[in-house]
Amino acid sequence: MLKELFSKLEDYYEDMVTIRRYMHQHPELSFQEYNTAQYIKEFYEKLGVEVKDNIGGNGVVAKVYGNKPGKTVALRADFDALPINDEKDVPYRSLVPGVMHACGHDGHTATLLVLAKVLNELKADLEGNYVFIHQHAEEYAPGGAITMIEDGCLEGVDVIFGTHLWASEPTGTIQYRTGPIMAAADRFEIEIQGKGGHGAQPHKTKDAIVTTSQLVVNLQQIVSRKVNPVESAVVTVGSFMSENAFNVIADKAKLIGTVRTFNDDVRQYIEEEMERIIQGTCHMSGSTYKFLYERGYPAVVNHAKETEFLVAAASEVPEVTTIEESEPQMGGEDFSYYLKEVPGTFFFTGAKPLGAKPGYPHHHPKFDIDENAMLIAAKTLGTAAINIHSSK
């Protein structure tokens, strides 16, 4: 069966590339992916595959039923783009100003569509059922996964697999990890209210910029001095805003940033410690504050049995040259919600463009992938989906 699966995927590889490049040229932002969802739906309709759209928003779910009894396996791909201007000099450069696929979601979608086409052609010999989850809005919290789950995309699903094309790793590499592999990703805003005044009379003011500057430094003590060193955590201030003239002492300033953690207790502690530090810093200057802490995606925590199974499946793919354990990644992913509902695993498929030294990272204006990685991803996911029926 795997030999036939691989052969058909290879035959349709050019279709995979065509789909990926079309999507790369026509990206849509999170929660605005109407044309992309329609494209995916029409692809399945042409195959005669059961498909439903508007799942939890712009999500699309298709199903292929094998001719023999077995488990129900879900495979997931995301399809939203980012608000970044495409700066690559390639024929398939984005045609939408200020929007591009800078994280590989176009490749994820092309991979899953062609894999679904092949599994549909093989369904007479397949065991079990196959659910293809095409998810909108992965890039922007609250994300599309949670609403798709609420709308029933996991009903009857026994196991789920997902992959991310990983442009930092060479093609042929599969990276896995049991337990936490990607971090919980939270967002915060802190607004400091002081008392403005003339730049030449600081003694009559409560300088919001000075207070906020002290706060930036003080927040860094949470991870360095408050969190157990064996735990991974990040507190990053990404934006510092205050709008005033050169000779005006600001009455307001604002910080925006992110917190990344793996441990729920550490996550809760950091939120509480941030408020304590903000309160204390403002007390020193006589300022007041507003603190907004928004919890984003929880950590992606892979299940041990399914991760071990995935490693075995990857070893059967001829193009996979390296299978290695990944370090925990501090990036966030709402695949975490699926893993809270059903067993499964999320892994990385190396997709570093040929000749790239070191290549452009995800979310960069010149981001690209080695499209051969899509074939490896399809073979790995397909092998896992087929072989799971023989696992105990």
DSSP 360: P
* Cβ pair 160, 338 in contact under 8 A: yes
Whether 151 is catalytic is no
Phi/psi at 227 (nearest 5 deg)?
-90, 140
Structure tokens at 78: 């995301």
> Residue with structure tokens 């005006």?
248
CA-wise closest residue to 301 among 258, 266, 335: 335
User: What CA–CA distance (Å, rounded) separates 130 from 376?
Assistant: 19
- Which of 33, 53, 106, 138 is the catalytic position? 138
- Which of 28, 80, 169, 186 is the catalytic position? 80
Q: Give 72's strand partners.
A: 129
Helix (H, G, I), strand (E, B) or coil at 197: strand
Read off the amino acid at residue 119: L
Whether 86 is catalytic is no
Radius of gyration of the CA atoms of the chain, in A: 24
Buried-state track 4-33, b at ≥16 Cβ within 10 A, e below 16: ebbebbeebbeebbebbbebbbbbbbbbeb
Q: Which segments of 262-302 are extended strands (E)?
A: 288-294, 300-302
Going edge to edge, which strands form the sheet with 252-261? 233-241, 252-261, 184-193, 288-294
What amino acid positions are annotated as catalytic residues? Answer: 80, 138
